[in-house]
A and B are shown apart, each in its own frame.
Chain A
Amino acid sequence: MEAHAHHKETFITKYIFSTDHKMIAKQFLITGMIMGIVGVGMSLLFRLQLAWPDQEWPILEALLGKWGTDGIMDPNIYLALVTIHGTIMVFFVLTAGLSGTFSNLLIPLQIGARDMASGFINMLSYWFFFASSVVMLASLFVENGPAAAGWTIYPPLSALPQAVPGSGLGMTLWLVSMSLFIVSSLLGALNYIVTVLNLRTKGMSMTRLPLTIWAFFVTAILGVLSFPVLFSAALLLIFDRSFGTSFYLSDIMVAGEMLTNQGGSPILFQHLFWFLGHPEVYIILLPALGISSEVISTNARKPIFGYRAMVGSILAIAFLSFIVWGHHMFVTGMNPFLGSVFTFTTLLIAIPSAVKAFNYITTLWKGNLQFTPAMLFSIGLVSTFITGGLTGLILGDSALDINVHDTYFVVAHFHIVMGLSAIFGLFAGVYHWFPKLFGRRMNKNLGYVHFWVTFISAYGVFFPMHFLGMAGLPRRYYTNTAFPMFDDLADINVLVSYFAIIGGIAQVIFIWNFFYSALRGKKAEQNPWKSNTLEWTTPVEHIHGNWPGEIPEVHRWPYDYSKPGMEEDFVPQTVPLSKDEVATGGH
């Protein structure tokens, strides 16, 4: 408590412009949750449209105003909703909300550091994210509507206001917002990398890092290498839109007007975009995998199986993620030889992914599984990671991609493998580290109800979409009624929408549990899950500097659960190796 006494904290320095990583983690989490409510809410609106296209929904008129006149959704606003849903979920919820929260909370706590390398840069990272969120939400209220070119904002559609109304001011705000977001993401990532490399406590070698930290560390490296490329793509797009350049534009006549642009290539944008876009998938997924490794090991009361193989597969996945971007572009007319190369590299990712899945499963074998809500979400994550990952073998194969590219098969694939896995990782993290975040406990029964309704409806939403894709149904269609060949898909769409609505409403349980427990939940003990990692050696009450006295020294790896010869079924990292352990080669 001494460290605390030195600082005079006002409300503003403590809760708003805080440089304390724990407070910043909470800021990221709550902002991410608010954005999540907006993003998921939008998906419910367009699910109404997809399942009941002719139905008049007063709620649409109430929420969308002139774009929902008489309760019928405007086609352009449908496109805007899918665009902003994708943007918000991918970047604001699953990148900033997930990585921002848990990298910030856990990196200093689990490596034994008093704070991030630069608290000030950390604070800036959050406030750039906040500004970016505000601009993105503001874009929902402009005259011609928000960006509507898909979350991948391919030009020329995103470059020409004549082509779609959302490409006016809405698109400008989207680009401004994403530029701020990239700044936030880079500031955060640099801080994470520097902190992990330099501020590890005595004894915390890289091979003693918890897998969470490995995942956050590699994620940060991916971000630093790939986000600047998105920034340059966005910058060139801003130039094409506002200053008359032709990086992406050539030979275009739109709305009866012949444009003067010549010589640019829309495909260049796709290369730049996916050079970020694919690593981005792993920027989202790796933290979730790191969290689940930690949660599964702790609650199985067993070491994570194959620690080195787990680290190796994270590194392999991260490396491969940079040389597979072309699999998003098999049907752009790219040289078929390149298609072959990208098919080869893409399918290779299945190997480290399989290693991870098998290691998770083997960690459960002969464990003493404690089914906390966090553990259930982690098991759910492994399930969706497998189910969604497997269809990657279809989509990564250029010859097969020809016929399912941009259909609902893709929607099913990436929502299951990336969306659900990452969301489950986020939930697992919140349930597991809630006592560390707020010093209180969440209600487990509400957690169970939340898990089961979410898990079942999540599969209920996305599993049937595989069949829609195999029927040739393209994504981003405002309605499927223009093609009689899709008439018999209506039933499936209704089923999907029902599950979406149930799953959406179920999140009320989580939100209630979260806020109620944060304010009035039971007080947490110091180490509620009997965990080995360092964050549980800090006092329940947050203090600046994390540990009241000396920073603890680390003597062993974090996974000594149920070690033979030990009294308890866990041995914290701070416990020195016994003579026997030294003799048998302890970590």
Chain B
Amino acid sequence: METLLIVVISLLAVMALTQAVRIFEISSKIKGGDNDVKINDKDNNTQGWLLILFLVFFFGAFAWMVMEYMEVTLPVSASTHGKDIDSLWNISMGVILVAFLVTQPLLFGFAFMFRGRKTRKATYMEHNNKLELFWTGIPAVVLAGLILYGLTTWTNVMNPENTEEPMVIELYAKQFGWTARYSGEDNTLGFANVRLIEGANVLGVDANDKFAKDDVITSELHLPKDRPVLLKFRSQDVIHSAYLPHFRVQMNCVPGTETQFQFTPDITTAEMRNDPEVIEKVKRVNALRAERGEDPWEFDYVLLCNKICGSAHYNMQLKVVVESQDEFDKWMKEQQTFAEML
């Protein structure tokens, strides 16, 4: 019913528009003259006012969106390097906000101030090298700062200093799911290749490799808090991207190549569930879910696929849990090793 209504309304809208357009055409014909094609002072005045009104509306809408929509954005970073990324984000956002809030009023303000009039004559100005130098110099200096800060952060994220040996975990992607493989007590992953996939050995792990025997294959990703982890990524079929938004981590999974990303989670799932922002978010989401008669949601970290990979790309996910070392050890004990699995 609702659908029909919307279709009818859309059709009516198109028809109304066409009619409005025709009225425009006919009325301009009746009036005669060049009034429907030539720009006069009245047009300049009206459009000048509309431009300045737009600016007010634009900034008003922007402020409204910041107030209304900032709450849907990601909560505090749950990894150590993520906090550095967030500081860089805030500073960069600050810079672009200043530029945005200065240039848009200049643009629309000048448009309004100098809206055309018969009596006005434009001032002939070709160029001004001092001004050009000024607005080349200022962005250059600001950018030099942003680039230096950005590159430092990038280098630190990509080459973290290790106080302890990171735990090596493989994330394996295929259409349309994820599997985790822990490297076990030797902290070394056994050799694997898609060509070795056979029967229950769905990841193609080499059963003869001595490092493979203690590997642990799981369908959830559990991480101990404050322990560096080195994620290694493989893909079975097409490119996927392992995206862990809460940890500010993303890396593509490329068939035929191994990629990696190291980070240290520092907020457990339980702690994150108690974060005031997250509590608010869960409340909001559950109110919406209740309306639709869906089960309430409990916050969990999640791994998403973020590279187009086929029909179920939108639902390729893995639950991620960050917990204390004890809880992690307990969970790990319950898992089978690769040798036991076979």
Contact = CB atoms under 8 A, between A and B. Distances in A.
Contacts of B74: 403, 470-472
Contacts of A348: 143
Interface in A48-74: 55-59, 71
B122 A301 contact: yes
Interface stretch (A7-15, A102-110, A251-259, A572-580): A251-259
Given A355-B135, A476-B308, A479-B314, A488 B254 contact: no
A482 B245 CA distance: 16
Contacts of B233: 333
A489 interface: yes
Given A336-B159, A366-B123, A444 B285 contact: no
A441 B37 contact: yes
The B contact surface, by secondary structure, is helix
A336 B154 contact: yes
B297 interface: yes
B125 A303 contact: yes
B28 interface: yes
Interface in A384-442: 386-387, 390-391, 393-394, 397-400, 402-403, 405-407, 441-442
A302 B125 contact: yes
A305 interface: yes
B255 A303 contact: no
Interface string B158-181: 110000000000000011000000
Interface string B47-61: 110110010011001
Contact of A371 (B104, B116, B257): B116
Given A302-B125, A303-B124, A562-B124, A464 B65 contact: yes
Contact of B309 (A157, A382, A387): A157
B48 A369 contact: yes
B304 to A, nearest CB: 6
B330 interface: no
B267 to A, nearest CB: 16
B147 interface: yes
B139 A351 contact: yes
A362 B237 contact: no
A264 B139 contact: no
Nearest to A360: B107
Interface stretch (B12-20, B207-215, B221-229, B333-341): B12-20
A251 B256 contact: yes
B157 interface: yes
A343 B150 contact: yes
Nearest to B249: A402
Given A406-B306, A443-B36, A485 B285 contact: yes
Interface stretch (A118-126, A215-223, A306-314, A535-543): A306-314
B18 A508 contact: yes
Contact of A331 (B250, B302, B304): B250
A391 B260 CA distance: 27
Nearest to B254: A266
A76 B314 CA distance: 11
A340 interface: yes
Given A76-B311, A163-B175, A442-B37, A400 B88 contact: yes
Contact of B194 (A258, A376, A489): A258
Nearest to B150: A397
B314 A478 contact: yes
Interface in A352-377: 354-355, 357-362, 364-372, 376
B271 interface: no
Interface string B124-158: 11111001100110011001001100110111011
Given A387-B104, A472-B74, A562-B124, A343 B147 contact: yes
Contacts of A17: none
A201 interface: no
Contact of B256 (A250, A254, A367): A250
Contact of A390 (B43, B99, B114, B194): B99
Contacts of B51: 371, 376, 379
B238 A445 contact: no
B183 interface: no
Interface string B8-44: 0010011001100100110010000010111100011
A308 B72 contact: no
A308 B127 CA distance: 8
Nearest to B89: A400
A275 interface: no
A160 to B, nearest CB: 7
Given A160-B238, A445-B24, A254 B96 contact: no
B88 A397 contact: yes
A364 B107 contact: yes
A361 B103 contact: yes
A331 B135 CA distance: 33
B236 to A, nearest CB: 5
Contact of B146 (A71, A75, A339, A393): A393
Interface string A159-194: 010011000000000000000000000000000000
A444 B37 contact: yes
A375 B46 CA distance: 14
Contacts of A371: 39, 43-44, 47-48, 51, 111, 115-116
Contacts of B157: 399, 402
B311 A164 contact: yes
A57 B10 CA distance: 13
B63 interface: no
User: Which 8 residue pairs are nearest across A and B when measured between Cβ atoms?
Assistant: A250-B256, A333-B259, A472-B245, A371-B47, A484-B297, A336-B158, A482-B315, A441-B37
8 contacts: A75-B314, A265-B257, A303-B125, A370-B116, A371-B116, A446-B21, A467-B72, A505-B14
Interface of B: 2-4, 7, 10, 13-14, 17-18, 21, 24-25, 28, 34, 36-39, 43-44, 47-48, 50-51, 54, 57-58, 61-62, 65, 69-70, 72-74, 82, 84-85, 88-89, 92-93, 95-96, 99-100, 103-104, 106-108, 110-111, 114-117, 120-128, 131-132, 135-136, 139-140, 143, 146-147, 150-151, 153-155, 157-159, 174-175, 193-195, 197, 233, 236-239, 241, 243, 245-246, 248-252, 254-257, 259-260, 281, 284-285, 288-289, 297, 299, 302, 304-315, 317
Interface of A: 55-59, 71, 75-76, 79, 149-150, 154, 156-157, 160, 163-164, 249-254, 258, 262-267, 300-303, 305-309, 331-333, 336, 339-340, 343-344, 347-348, 350-351, 354-355, 357-362, 364-372, 376, 379, 382-383, 386-387, 390-391, 393-394, 397-400, 402-403, 405-407, 441-446, 448, 452, 455-456, 459, 463-464, 467-468, 470-472, 474, 476-480, 482-485, 487-490, 492, 501, 505, 508-509, 512-513, 516, 521-522, 528, 559, 561-564, 569
Given A156-B238, A371-B111, 10 more contacts: A266-B255, A266-B256, A302-B122, A331-B252, A369-B114, A390-B99, A407-B306, A448-B43, A468-B72, A488-B284
